[in-house]
Structure 1
Amino acid sequence: MTDTKTAPAATAEEIEQFIRTYAAGFGATLRSPVWHSPAEAGLDFHEITFPSTDGVPLEGWYIPAPGSDKLIIANHPLWFSRSGLPAHIEPWKSMWAPTGNDNEVDFIPDYKILHDAGYHVLAYDLRNLGASGAANGGVISAGVYEARDVLGSLAYVRSRRDLDHLTIGLFSRCMGANATMFAMRAEPAAFDGVRAMVAPQPLSPRVTMEQSLVAAGIPARYIDELEQRVRLHNGFRLDDMSPVQPARSVNVPTLLYQVRDDVLTRPDDIQAVYDNITVEKDLFWIEDSTRRWDGYRYFAQNPGRILDWFDRHMS
């Protein structure tokens, strides 16, 4: 189990403020802007828009790799956009400084690596995040509603005559991984022909909320109050938003990876996701860090193992 640094015991007023603020993030999330562009890496790209399966307009980029017959569809974590998260500036810096994650995550290098390895890339913003449309009253569901966006991205690719013949792989990060697993449970046939998935750092809301309470010096028994407040915003119990059970529906070869000592989760959570996957799978741990963002930056710094997974299953 990950050790979490505990703050001095919080006062009743501080507890109320923490619970109110944390829960509110599931009711009206702060959008990260699309802060970067593929043009910064010298990539040709096209702005695209397509509907989720329930009609929400989703914004994205299509980055072609001429001559390739392979496509990676990429989505992103909660709070982020398709370009990453500018956590080095306010208001995100103050929000993430207590966990050591007050530095930027830029996903453009990821797309450059995939492109140069011979993959077309389609990257899109999930609902209520980035530049995509508002939906479901603006609430965050940690993957439940967002699964419709995953399904929409697949439908979009198959609707384009210039893309419908491509071999597809998925790069589904954090809440995007959760959403993909919920989508596989809802509509398994939609993933016919998808060859592989890389799913960094899926996360159960209960676990990260428990870790966050401890880090704030708040007794763990307040998880029930926090769950109730979240449910007042989005209607979901915490365990309803966990990817652990939907992982049983994963139906493509899947590679997971996770910062082992990430202060925002515990290793047993991703291990439970991994254990429930019944198709070909692999899991590796990123060591010597407590920063979750290091997991999101890992591919740009160490692409070999992830590219090998895609290459092996998509060739």
Structure 2
Amino acid sequence: MLPKLISAIVLTVLPLANGVEAQAASSQNQTLSEVQIQEALEGIANTFRQWPEAPLYHWPEEEGLEYESVMFPSEDGVPLEGWFFPCKGSNKVLIMNHPRLFNRAGLPSHIEPWNTLTAPSGNNIDVNFIPDYKILHDAGYNILTHDFRNYGLSGRANGVLYSGGRYESRDVIGSIRYIRSRPDTRNMTLGLFPRCMGGNAAFHAISRLPEEFEGIRVIVTPQPISANMSTRVDLERRGIPLSYMEDLDKMVFWRTSLHLEQYSPIPAARSVTIPTYIYQVHDDINTRPKDVQAIFDAIPIPEKKLFWIENTTRRWDAYLHFQQQPEDILAWLEKYMN
């Protein structure tokens, strides 16, 4: 079962959409029978309910960080687990979370079964989020980071499905309420640093409960993504006609009760009125630049910035970008958090 699942996710989450590889795949898939196409679509749809879960591969001790292991409820009561990093003398706190497949520690893509999953797109590297927390802590921020529902050590919910940020938005609300309930953080200046799926979740949360975000100063989010775009890219890579998007949409709906268009964060982004910094690998082979541009353009305020990471097609490079080049993001945070 696991090899079949990994094979499906390899082709779905991390499609090969560039250069010779894409041309070769397209050429091979021109001979796909109707049965083979339907099997491929079923495999894609199944990944909205199944994925290999990752352990907390890295821990704060690796960077000498003091921390608390914390537990708190999501908006709907799902138990969430995370780490709180106190910063003595600071009155600023950031809430951070993670992309799909990952958890608060990162993703050990360099070992199995994640190596097999990520190698075709060049993403088979160890993504360690602990250095991010170290940089932000040393810059004067308290930090709360947590696992989303269905990831890491947090509770399982909603049939263990991927909702593109919809149900995960309840965890964003829970994390904000938790920070505002702690005696030592309730009066602190608050900002958000959600990643990928976490960015989608933050946008959905803002669109549902804008009053919960009053007083939040800033958002920094790498690589929000629309599943209706990433699945389209996947079909193109396989050489499957885009006319099959309707079939795929039905299959996803049968598994999740959500249509692919509902996985786009663009409508929710229209509700964002908090200064927002988005950064993205421009040539990321999982999506197209126009999707991220559309998400950015939907944010209806001038206090926003879109930074493109160039000279790579590897999506995971964006998740390492902050720890390699933190200066611009730290300046953005300082501008709005002080």
Give the alignment's TM-score, normalised by structure 2.
0.90
Which residue is 2:142 aligned to?
120
Which residue is 2:124 aligned to?
102
Q: Does 1:217 align with 2:217?
A: no
Cα displacement (A) at 1:30: 2.5
Which residue is 2:321 aligned to?
298
Q: Is the 8 A contact 2:196 2:221 kept in 1?
A: yes
List aligned pairs for 1:185-200, cutoff 5 A. Answer: 185-200=207-222
Which residue is 2:197 aligned to?
175
Cα displacement (A) at 1:216: 3.0
Opposite residue 319 of structure 2, the aligned amino acid is Y
Opposite residue 300 of structure 2, the aligned amino acid is T
The DSSP-based 3-state class of the residue aligned with 2:270 is helix
Which residue is 1:9 aligned to?
28
Alignment: residue pair count: 314
After the TM superposition, list the runs of 4 or more consecutive aligned residues in structure 1 that deviate by more than 4 angstroms: none
Partners of 1:110 and 1:216 in 2: CA distance: 36
CA displacement, residues 82-104 of structure 1 (integer Å, 9 cap, x when unaligned)? 11111111111111122221112
Opposite residue 336 of structure 2, the aligned amino acid is H
Which residue is 2:337 aligned to?
314
Q: Is the 8 A contact 1:173 1:201 kept in 2?
A: yes
Kindly tell me: are residues 20 and 50 of structure 1, through their superposed partners in 2, closer, same or farther at Cα, counting changes over 3 Å? same
Q: Is the 8 A contact 2:78 2:157 kept in 1?
A: yes
Partners of 1:58 and 1:30 in 2: CA distance: 19
The DSSP-based 3-state class of the residue aligned with 1:249 is coil
Which residue is 2:263 aligned to?
241
CA displacement, residues 155-197 of structure 1 (integer Å, 9 cap, x when unaligned)? 0011111110111111011000000000000000101111000
Which residue is 2:3 aligned to?
none
Q: Is the 8 A contact 1:142 1:205 kept in 2?
A: yes
Kindly tell me: are residues 217 and 86 of structure 1, through their superposed partners in 2, closer, same or farther at Cα, counting changes over 3 Å? farther
The DSSP-based 3-state class of the residue aligned with 1:197 is strand
RMSD between aligned residues: 1.4
Which residue is 1:51 aligned to?
73
| Match for residue 70 of structure 1 among 92, 116, 129 | 92
Cα displacement (A) at 1:218: 2.8
Which residue is 1:137 aligned to?
159
| Match for residue 186 of structure 2 among 160, 164, 177 | 164
Partners of 1:33 and 1:226 in 2: CA distance: 31
Kindly tell me: are residues 216 and 87 of structure 1, through their superposed partners in 2, closer, same or farther at Cα, counting changes over 3 Å? farther
Partners of 2:130 and 2:117 in 1: CA distance: 23
CA displacement, residues 227-264 of structure 1 (integer Å, 9 cap, x when unaligned)? 22111111101111101110011121000111000000
Question: Percent of aligned positions with the same letter in both sequences?
Answer: 48
Cα displacement (A) at 1:21: 2.5
The DSSP-based 3-state class of the residue aligned with 1:9 is helix
Q: Is the 8 A contact 1:188 1:251 kept in 2?
A: no
